[in-house]
Copies of this chain bind each other. A is one copy, B any other.
């Protein structure tokens, strides 16, 4: 491998100063047209690329965004949650489109992740994405804000904290899907998913769920809510508890598709037909949802739009513009798991 060319090499060949080379390569209008053309030709010929470490050091910005995907530590080695994987893809694409590079990092318990990337000048800003106990997480958000770090996060809006969140309107989504289930004639509807401030997204979906029940004059039976977090296994177990509880139920609204899929597995094992005996609905619309049997009725969170909004909001924030928290509209996707 030959040594990399520097701007001095180009200057030498072009018979100009290194400053002029730098200007020409940045398309500065200060530089003479002919000189610029010549310099750019030489640069191309030498396969020259501006050294990003040097230019970033000089300009104190990196044109790079860091994506921190934090996960439940219990979930160590297993597959990444498909919804977040899809977000990862969409954010990567949105960054490419904006000419930014994306540094991706998975975070576990490490307690100083919050600042590393921006403080070490590797990224101009951060996108936070993931799950885990929100109460623990909140402290870190406060720290980040205090340090003046530029960041946006995916998730539910947080009261009393002035940070930019992009999230799905979970309340609305939970309400719409439950209304659909009610319209299919179901009355005893269980909710599988944690309903506490430790998992605010799920909690909002549950609140929307309850709202739908109330507005249709159905009673909210707390015995029909079972906690479950982020895995298919959690959904399976919650459904087993529901079945063994002897509460009567004819429908399940799950706080996520993965939970719904686990619930379907439990129902099948217990000989319950879907959707005849029990209908099942999910949330997220991950790719798998179209392929379950029966295909899963769910609420789509548009990851493509979400990724674009996260990136755009962060870039505005970095540019010093005002950015407001915003909600993405959920969309009911009717398949067959709640009847035709």
Q: Which residues of A contact B (CB under 8 A)?
A: 1-2, 4, 47-54, 56-57, 62, 64, 69, 77, 79-80, 82, 85-86, 88-89, 92-93, 96, 101-106, 115-116, 119-122, 147-149, 261, 287-288, 291-293, 304
Contact = CB atoms under 8 A, between A and B. Distances in A.
A120 to B, nearest CB: 4
Contacts of A47: 115, 119, 147
Contacts of A115: 47, 49
A120 B51 contact: yes
Contacts of A120: 49-52
Nearest to A97: B106
A65 to B, nearest CB: 11
* Most chain B CB neighbours (cut-off 10 Å) among A86, A89, A115, A292: A89
A147 B54 contact: no
A77 B53 CA distance: 32
A288 to B, nearest CB: 5
A106 B101 CA distance: 10
A93 B104 CA distance: 9
Contacts of A96: 105-106
Minimum-distance CB pairs A-B, first 4 = A1-B148, A293-B293, A49-B119, A53-B57
Given A93-B106, A122-B52, A291-B291, A88 B88 contact: yes
Nearest to A89: B80
A247 to B, nearest CB: 27
Nearest to A61: B53
Contacts of A82: 287
Given A102-B103, A102-B105, A51 B89 contact: no
14 contacts: A4-B121, A49-B116, A49-B119, A53-B121, A69-B92, A80-B93, A85-B89, A96-B105, A102-B103, A102-B104, A103-B103, A287-B288, A288-B291, A291-B292
Contacts of A2: 148
Given A92-B106, A120-B49, A287 B79 contact: yes
A46 to B, nearest CB: 10
Given A88-B88, A105-B101, A147 B1 contact: yes
